[in-house]
């Protein structure tokens, strides 16, 4: 059945990596993305280690000299939660969070420079055609999902192409159902988020976790808007 957002992955770290640092960084990621991890003593699905793993990404160097890598065990490497965490750790906000942390007034870790970080290739597992179909059926009510489409979407809903330019588009499209306004009308079976159907006044949208991967694959296939221009919100 694989890993999906219904179950929190566990996270462990080597003892040489200060717990205080992990306790500082992980909740800030969770707050941003609503993705949580169960913190365990050892052998987590996700591990912060100081020995270069076979697959993973370098994320920081401790002032004590060790390099810290992130890696995933078994099927967790396929999980969108794991990938979102890796993406965030090497992103600007993630790196700023790592750099901000101090113990007794001392910086503890230096984030890996963006061009040195070798994040794991984003694995796109969904079906593009099905994602396009789902997007046209369900999201086009409010978003412009197809550039050729004359319909512009509703005013405050950004077009998919505009959002595709965001560094964290992948996180946003993996978690959109947990944020307003979607929260009120979209149910995703297996997401662990329960809905009170009585409160949904417009036609509800019912999706499966696999549908989310398909939508992500479809959005991945879109050409982002030209980054040279200031981001147009709803072109
Ligand atoms: C009822 C209208 C409506 C529908 C239907 C809808 N959206 Fe949205 N969506 C919005 C609005 C409005 C925003 C902007 C929210 C904001 O800026 O706070 C938004 C924002 C987003 C974002 C950005 C979220 C973020 O973290 O910034 C994503 C991704 C997204 N929508 C994807 C989808 C997908 C995929 C679907 C279809 C499965 C969908 N939306 C269906 C109205 C809608």
CB atoms within 10 A of CB 103: 13
Q: How confident is the model at residue 68 (pLDDT cuts 50, 70, 90)?
A: very high
Q: What is the pLDDT of residues 6-37, one digit of tens each?
A: 568 999 999 999 999 999 999 999 998 999 99
Q: What is the pLDDT of residues 154-189, one digit of tens each?
A: 878 999 998 988 877 888 898 898 888 888 888 888
Q: Atom 5 of ligand 1 has which residue's CA nearest to it? A: 139
Q: How confident is the model at residue 201 (pLDDT cuts 50, 70, 90)?
A: low
How far is residue 151's CA from residue 153's CA, in Å, rounded to a whole number? 6
pLDDT at 179: 85
How far is residue 170's CA from residue 71's CA, in Å, rounded to a whole number? 19
Taking the centre of ligand 1 as the mean of its atom positions, its distance from the CA of residue 33, in whole angstroms, is: 15
Nearest to 37 by CA among 13, 8, 14, 12: 8
pLDDT at 115: 67
Q: How confident is the model at residue 120 (pLDDT cuts 50, 70, 90)?
A: low
Which of the two residues, 169 and 200, has the higher pLDDT score?
Answer: 169
Q: How confident is the model at residue 209 (pLDDT cuts 50, 70, 90)?
A: confident
Determine the atom of ligand 1 nearest the C-alpha atom of 135: 37
Highest mean pLDDT of the ranges 69-78, 106-115, 162-171, 207-216: 207-216
Is residue 128 a contact partner of residue 219, using CB atoms and an 8 Å limit?
Answer: no
| Ligand 1 mutation pick, 31, 135, 176, 189, max ligand atoms within 8 A of CB | 176
Residues in contact with ligand 1 by the CB-under-6-Å rule are: 138-139, 141-143, 156-157, 163, 172-173, 176, 179, 181-182, 215
Residue 82, both tokens = 């794991």
Q: What is the pLDDT of residues 131-150, one digit of tens each?
A: 999 999 999 989 999 888 87
Taking the centre of ligand 1 as the mean of its atom positions, its distance from the CA of residue 109, in whole angstroms, is: 36
Taking the centre of ligand 1 as the mean of its atom positions, its distance from the CA of residue 91, in whole angstroms, is: 22
Is residue 184 a contact partner of residue 203, using CB atoms and an 8 Å limit?
Answer: no
Q: How confident is the model at residue 4 (pLDDT cuts 50, 70, 90)?
A: very low
Q: How confident is the model at residue 3 (pLDDT cuts 50, 70, 90)?
A: very low
- Mean pLDDT, the chain, as a whole number? 84
């Amino acid at each position: 059945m694989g890993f999906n957002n219904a179950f929190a992955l566990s996270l462990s770290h080597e003892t040489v990596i200060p717990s205080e640092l992990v306790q500082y960084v992980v909740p800030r990621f969770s707050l941003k993305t609503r993705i949580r991890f169960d913190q365990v003593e050892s052998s987590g699905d996700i591990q912060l280690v100081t020995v270069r793993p076979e697959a993973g990404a370098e994320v920081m160097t401790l002032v004590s000299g060790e390099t810290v890598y992130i890696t995933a065990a078994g099927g967790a490497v396929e999980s969108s939660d794991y990938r979102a965490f890796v993406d965030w750790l090497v992103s600007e906000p993630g790196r700023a969070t790592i750099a901000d942390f101090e113990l007794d007034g001392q910086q503890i870790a230096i984030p890996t420079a963006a061009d040195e970080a070798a994040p794991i290739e984003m694995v796109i597992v969904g079906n593009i055609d099905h994602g396009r179909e789902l997007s046209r059926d369900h999201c086009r009510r409010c978003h412009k999902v197809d550039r050729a489409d004359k319909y512009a979407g509703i005013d405050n809903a950004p077009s998919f192409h505009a959002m595709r330019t965001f560094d964290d588009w992948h996180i946003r499209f993996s978690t959109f159902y947990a944020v307003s306004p979607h929260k009120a009308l979209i149910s995703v079976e297996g997401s662990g988020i329960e809905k009170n159907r009585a409160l949904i006044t417009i036609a509800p949208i019912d999706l499966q976790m696999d549908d989310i991967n398909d939508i992500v694959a479809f959005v991945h296939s879109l050409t982002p808007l030209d980054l040279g221009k200031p981001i147009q919100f709803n072109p």
